[in-house]
Structure 1
Amino acid sequence: MISATKPFVKLHKYDQELVSDIQALNSSGYAKDDIYVLKWNPDKNHSNQRNNFYKYSTHFESAVGDIDSKAQFFDNGGEELRTKMEHLGLTKDEASALFREIQETDKTCILIVRDLKDNIIKMS
């Protein structure tokens, strides 16, 4: 486990709002190693669910900015995302609940920040 405290978690679309949040964190002194973007890629699952296909093919998302240089970026299927969330300090149940939530909403990635101290980014 990386930290004794729970990390800050926010569901996002892979879009300009995500980039803005990451830039705000960077300008407030948070390093790349403290910021994680976990992007769910249903193609890396064994999933052939029609809803997921349409979610990704009809809702084009674009994040303008170099996220890889400002945050740790992971583009994985479901099991890998849950494992990474657990590694970052969430319980197995919390990681599973977040993964279910990302499947049920229009969000496609999770922003996780270790030891967020201030209200640098909006909660919702």
Structure 2
Amino acid sequence: GGGAGVRVLFESEDARLLTAYRQAARDDRVRELLRDSPRYLAECFAVWSAHPQAGPLWQETRTDLLEEVLRPVVRGLPPERLAEAERELAGLGRSRAEEFRAWQRPNLRTRLRTLLTRRPAE
């Protein structure tokens, strides 16, 4: 979390710093918090989906965090927990909950990849 700290991260384009941040986000404690706290999940989504115009290292970092850290957790959450996270996001700004819903829908690339990598039925 932490808006100001993250601003330093994405403005720095410091590869070492961003790598450390990505590793920290993979900690079991972070996954636990994402699973158990709708507010924490909302804050992480808000931060990780922000600043799409920042430099390439932040682009890579935020994509990694959203796809490899957050998405697997979100996929495993019950609908009521997702609804709580949406309410938290709505509190951060009206468009946030909409962005979250749109992000959850698999995009075309993901659907194609799933189709292409699915093993044929035995």
Q: TM-score of the superposition, structure 2-length normalised?
A: 0.29
Q: Which has the higher contact order (CA 8 A, sep 6+)?
A: 1
When Rg is computed on C-alpha atoms for both structures, the one with the higher figure is 2
> Larger % of helix: which?
2
